[in-house]
Amino acid sequence: MQIRHLGLADYEPVWRDMQAFTDARTADTPDALWIVEHPPVYTLGLAGKPEHLLRQTDIPLVRTDRGGQITYHGPGQLVVYLLLSVQRRGYGIREMVRRIEAAIIDTLAEYGVDAHGDENAPGVYVDARKIASLGLRIRNHATYHGLSLNVNMDLAPFGWINPCGYEGLQVTQLAELHTPAPTLAEVADKLIPHLATRLAPTEEETA
């Protein structure tokens, strides 16, 4: 997989670049992971309900084309966009989500954090608090959008929404669970190999 580090970049131009990359894909286009950090922004999924934004703020709201409800991105959150051929993987989207969650759980375990998924609510949780969100879109037989992992950020804007559409859902971040707080680059260096390993199809799946 090709790895791109985009640094701090506005949400909407990166989203449009993902769409263009996906639309231009051919059978030979390498899969890619784009690593990015966004300035403050709320994003609302295709079926997202505006009432999950509980108060008006200066944070922009972007209606996007991923699955899911409303979430928040901001500095100190690691975002990884997964531009992957579905056909090349040999397994379905539900299995892909499970494997992405497993890669995040593996990464958090390296920091001594015991995390888990939830079959009824995609994402990764520590106890009942959400630490990572997932949202994907399939187009041209490939995925785009991806995951966000809270590392060391201002969590207050999550309190102004129903995160992922769940009233009262609490969020957490790695900085609250591990001392010293790691940098985004350090967490990315651990997460990317776990994603590559977990997402790799088995010989049976590619047969």
Residue positions forming the annotated binding site for substrate? 66-73, 133-135, 146-148
206 in a structural domain:
no
205 in a structural domain:
no
Question: Do 44 and 62 contact (CB within 8 A), yes or no?
Answer: yes
42-74 confidence digits (pLDDT tens)? 999 888 888 999 999 999 999 999 988 999 999
Query: Would residue 158 show up in a list of annotated catalytic residues for this protein?
Result: no
Looking up residue 153, the CATH number of its domain turns out to be: 3.30.930.10
51 in a structural domain:
yes
CA distance 12 to 82: 16
Residue positions forming the annotated binding site? 66-73, 133-135, 146-148
Single out the residue of 176, 174, 18 nearest to residue 108, CA to CA. 174
**What stretch of H or E contains 180?**
none
Task: Give the chain's end-to-end CA distance (angstroms, integer).
Answer: 20
* The pLDDT of residue 195 is above 90: yes
73-99 confidence digits (pLDDT tens)? 999 999 999 999 998 888 999 999 999
Q: Specify the 3-state DSSP secondary structure of 62.
A: strand
85 in a structural domain:
yes
Question: Do 171 and 158 contact (CB within 8 A), yes or no?
Answer: yes
Tally of domains in the chain: 1
207 in a structural domain:
no
CA distance 179 to 112: 10
Of 135-139, 145-149, 191-195, the one with minimum mean pLDDT is 135-139
Domain of 101 in residue numbering reads as: 2-200
* The pLDDT of residue 138 is above 70: yes
Instruction: Write the CB contacts of 67 (distance below 8 Å, at least 6 apart in sequence).
Output: 45, 46, 47, 135, 136, 137, 145
Q: Which of 164, 188, 191, 199 is catalytic?
A: 164
119 in a structural domain:
yes
